[in-house]
Structure 1
Amino acid sequence: MNRQRLVVGISGASGFIYGVRLLELLADLDIESHLIISRAALLTMAHETDYKLADVTALASHYHRADDIAAGIASGSFRCLGMVVAPCSMRTLAEIATGTSSGLIARAADVTLKERRTLVLMARETPLTLAHLRNMSAVTDMGGIIAPPVPAFYARPQSLVQMVDHSLGRVLDLFGLDAGVAHRWQEHQEPCGSEPAREGGGTVAITAD
C-alpha cells in the first residue's frame, strides 16, 4: 500500500457538507479516500446542497455503492487508517452499536472496530434520547470515537466553512493528520507581559462562571 487510505461514510443525518469537505481535505493531504453514501444521504444532499452525486463521487479516490457489501472495504484484509462517518445518523449509529450491518457503511464500520482501527462517528442529533446515548456508549466501549461537530467559538469563525473546517480538522487530528484548518487554542502563546492576542480587531476574552 503506497498511499494512506481512509474510508468515508456519509449517512442521512443533516450536515452533508461535512462529508463533502472531508473528501476535499483528504485530497489535499494526498490520502486515498473510499466513499460510501447511504440512500438517505442522497435525500439530504438534495435538500441541503446543490451537489449532484457525480460531483461528490468525483472528489473521492474510490466510490462504493451503499449496498455493495462485497466491496473490498467490507473485509478486514483491506488496510487503511480507519473510517469516518460524516455525518452519522442515529440509525447508522444504532446499526454500528448493535453490529447490525444492513449496508456497507455499517459493515465497514464493524470491520474497522474488529480490526482495532480508528472509527470516528460525527453524530448529528439533538436532543439525545436514552437510546442514542446508550448506542454512543456501546460504540465507545468497542473502541470507536463519538465526535459531534461542535463549533469552537473561541476561533471566532466568520463563515460556515470555517466552522465545518475546524470540526473536520479536529477529526483528522485523531488519525494523526494535520489539514491546517483547525484553530488551536493557545498553541502560540504570547510571552509573559505582552499584550493579549487580538482577533478581528478585538481582545479575546473568556470568562468562567
Structure 2
Amino acid sequence: MRSQSSARRRIVVGISGASGAIYGVRLLRLLRELEIESHLVVSRSAQVTLAQELQMRIADLQALADVNYPNTDIGAAISSGSFRVDGMIVAPCSIKTLSEVATGCTSSLLSRAADVMLKERRRLVLMVRETPLHAGHIRSLAAVTDAGAIVYPPVPAFYAMPETLEQMVDHTLGRVLDLFDIESRTVRRWSGTAG
C-alpha cells in the first residue's frame, strides 16, 4: 500500500458558466502534462459557455480529465471530505458559484465540492470572472476569503510580456498552480528591475 506522501496528487477542477472557459480547458491540459490526477465537475451553464467561446463539446472537455462527475451527483466522491484531494480550482468561477460557496448554501456538486474544501481546510482557488463588481459581489468575495478560499481573478500579468492569448492564460494558471506548490514551467518569473 502506498503512503499518502507517495500517492499521485489529485486536484478537483470545477468549471462554471462565467466567461473564460479557456482557463478550465487549459488547466486540465496542464494537469495532464504534469501527471496530476484531475477530477472534473462542470455546470450546465459552463457547457453553453464552452460551446460559444471555444466551439468545444462537453465530451471533448471530459476526455481531458481523469475522472468526471455530473453536476447533479451530490453523492460523488468529491462531495465528501473523506475523499483525499490536494484541493480544488474553479476556473472560471461565476458569481453564482462564488455566492453559494460564500454562504454554504450549495445547490450542485460543483459548489458542494468547493464547500468541502473549506470545511476540510484544503486549498480552494476561485478564479472569479466578473466585472464590474457591486457591493453584494464584494461582500461574497470577502466572506469566501474569510472562510479560507483564495480569490484569484484571472488578471493578466503584463510584466511577463505575453505575445499570445495562450501565453497570458498559461502564466495566470501557472501562478494558480504555484498556490499548490506545483511547478508548471509556464510562469515567467519576475527577477526585479535592472539598474
TM-score for both structures, normalised by structure 1: 0.89
CA distance in 2, matches of 1:152, 1:11: 23
* Count of residue pairs brought into register by the alignment: 190
Alignment of 1:1-209 (within 5 A): 2-186=7-191
CA distance in 2, matches of 1:43, 1:88: 14
* Structure 1 unmatched ranges of 5 or more: 193-209
Q: Higher helix share goes to which structure?
A: 2
> % of aligned pairs identical?
59
In the TM superposition, residue 78 of structure 1 has moved relative to its aligned partner by 0.7
CA distance in 1, matches of 2:93, 2:103: 15
CA distance in 2, matches of 1:131, 1:75: 29
Q: Name the amino acid aligned to 2:74.
A: I
Q: Name the amino acid aligned to 1:52.
A: R
Larger Rg over CA atoms: 1
Moved over 6 A (4+): none
TM-score for both structures, normalised by structure 2: 0.95
In the TM superposition, residue 156 of structure 1 has moved relative to its aligned partner by 1.1
SS at match of 1:70: coil
Render the CA deviation track for 1:32-68: whole Å, top value 9, x for unaligned: 0000000000010111012111111010000000010
